[in-house]
Amino acid sequence: MSDLSKNLLKKDLLKDFDLTEDEFIGGKITVFQPAKGYRAGIDAVLLAATVVANPGERILDLGSGVGTAGLCLMGREPEAKVTGLELQAVLFQIAQKNKETNQLEDRWSLVNGDLLQLPDDLPLGSFDQIICNPPFMPKGTSHGSPDPIKLLANHEGEATLRDWLLASLKLVKPKGAVTIIHRADRLDEILSVFREKKAGAIEVCPLWPYDGQPAKRVIVRARRGISKPMIITAGHKLHETDGSYTDIIDGALRRGQALPL
Could you report the per-residue pLDDT of 27-52, keeping only the tens digit for each?
999 999 999 877 888 999 999 999 99
Q: Go through 148-187 and write b for each residue having 16 or more CB atoms within 10 A of its CB, e for each that does not.
A: ebbbbbbbbeebbbebbbbbbbbbbbeebbbbbbbbbeeb
Domain boundaries, the chain: 3-180+188-198
Distance CA 185, CA 92 (A): 30
Average pLDDT over residues 191-205: 97
DSSP state of 246: P
For residue 239, which amino acid is it?
H
**What's the CATH number of domain 3-180+188-198, 3.90.1150.10, 2.70.170.10, 1.10.3080.10, 3.40.50.150?**
3.40.50.150
Contacts of 36 (CB under 8 A, 6+ apart): 18, 147
pLDDT (0 to 100) of residue 3: 42
For residue 246, which amino acid is it?
T
Whole-prediction pTM = 0.89
Distance CA 44, CA 73 (A): 10
pLDDT, tens digit (0-9, with 9 covering 90-100), for 94-104: 999 999 999 99
